[in-house]
Structure 1
Amino acid sequence: MGRARRRHARLVCRVAEEGQSVSATFATFGQGWAGDFGPYLFILLAGTLATDIWRWLGVVAGDRLRDDSEALNWVKAVATALVAGVIGNLILFPTGALASAPVALRVVAAALGWGAFLAARKNVLVGVVTAELVLVIGWIALPG
């Protein structure tokens, strides 16, 4: 038994013959006790570990924060900046079907959606629906 074979002897996907590669994929998680549910269990475990820890820390720390604290104002500002950046990227550098709409139409739809949001006393649903309607109607009305 060669050195490489001994090194990989305990892996889930063992080398059957010399020259085959060793890799762990979603298919290898379906082997063993988990059966066909292996990939789903892996995704559930990885998603839980990545997000639930922060949620519980937020619950514990949330009782101690005041609504008008500087830390919470900073978090709100960062979240707003991130959303604005994503919207800016969608307007100026779209992908998929949105890329076929002209830049002017995307800018006008965003501006009218923002105006409707403010006119409806900061109702997000009104702003989003208005922007979508302007975009869809403008897209249909465009020639070609």
Structure 2
Amino acid sequence: MAVFEGWWPYVFIAIAGWLATDLWRWLGVLAGNRLRDDSEVLNWVRAVATALVAAVIAKLILYPTGVLEHSPLWLRLGSIAAGVTAFFIGRQKPAVGIATAIAVLAIGLYALGF
């Protein structure tokens, strides 16, 4: 039994990790298969998910940490404006908007000496 003596924390973590994530994913898949794509419940879930992502992005822009904490607000907002503009000009491809916003922010930070 000495072989299994140090293994119990890893087994516990694996089981707890599975219960916390995969179980709920499978329940979501089972429940989601019964929903129509145009149902009100699914529209509500999409709206809540979009709002949560928007809130996280707003928090990162308005209350940043690390190097961005010392960067000026106008640079952070300007990089977002450039990214949104590039997104709409670039046929609404998210990668174009994200890459542009990151590039503008990086160039601005470099120009300011960060």
Using structure 2 for the length normalisation, give the TM-score.
Answer: 0.86
- Which has the larger helix fraction? 2
1:50 counterpart = 2:20: yes
**Equivalent in the alignment of 2:33:** 63
Does residue 33 of the first structure (1) align with residue 1 of the second (2)? no
Q: Which 4+ stretches in 1 moved above 6 angstroms? A: none
* CA-CA distance at 1:72 after TM superposition: 0.8
- Gap change, CA 1:135 and 1:38, over 3 Å in 2: farther
The number of residues matched between the two structures is 113
> Which structure has more RCO (C-alpha within 8 Å, separation ≥ 6)?
2
**C-alpha spacing 1:137/1:52, structure 2 compared with 1 (3 Å):** same
Please give the per-residue CA displacement for 1:76-126, whole angstroms capped at 9, x wherever unaligned. 111111111111100110011221211110111111112212222321111
If you compute each CA radius of gyration, which structure gives the higher value, 1 or 2? 1
Q: Does 1:113 align with 2:113?
A: no
Q: Which runs of 5+ in 2 are unaligned?
A: none
Q: d(CA) in 2 for partners of 1:137 and 1:38?
A: 50
Structure-2 residue corresponding to 1:95: 65
TM-score (norm 1): 0.70
Q: State the alpha-carbon separation in 1 of the partners of residues 37 and 64 from structure 2.
A: 36
Q: Give the CA RMSD over aligned residues.
A: 2.0
